[in-house]
Amino acid sequence: MKIKKFHSFTYDPEDLEVKEILTKYGPDFTKLKIKFVPEIQNGWAGDWDAETNTIKIHKDLDDVDKYGVIIHEFIEMMVTSLMGIPGYPHPDYDQKTHGERNQMAHDLANETEKRILELANIKWAEHEKRVNKVRNKKAKK
Q: What are the pLDDT digits (tens) for 20-58?
A: 666 677 777 788 899 999 998 778 899 988 778 899 999
The H or E element spanning position 36 is strand 33-37
Residue range 47-76: mean pLDDT, rounded: 92
Q: Which domains does the chain have, with CATH numbers?
A: 31-134 (1.10.10)
pTM comes to: 0.81
Q: How far apart are CA 107 and CA 135, in angstroms?
A: 18
Q: Flag whether pLDDT at 7 surpasses 60.
A: no
Q: How far apart are CA 93 and CA 81, in angstroms?
A: 11
What sections of the chain are H helices per DSSP? 18-25, 63-82, 95-119, 124-134
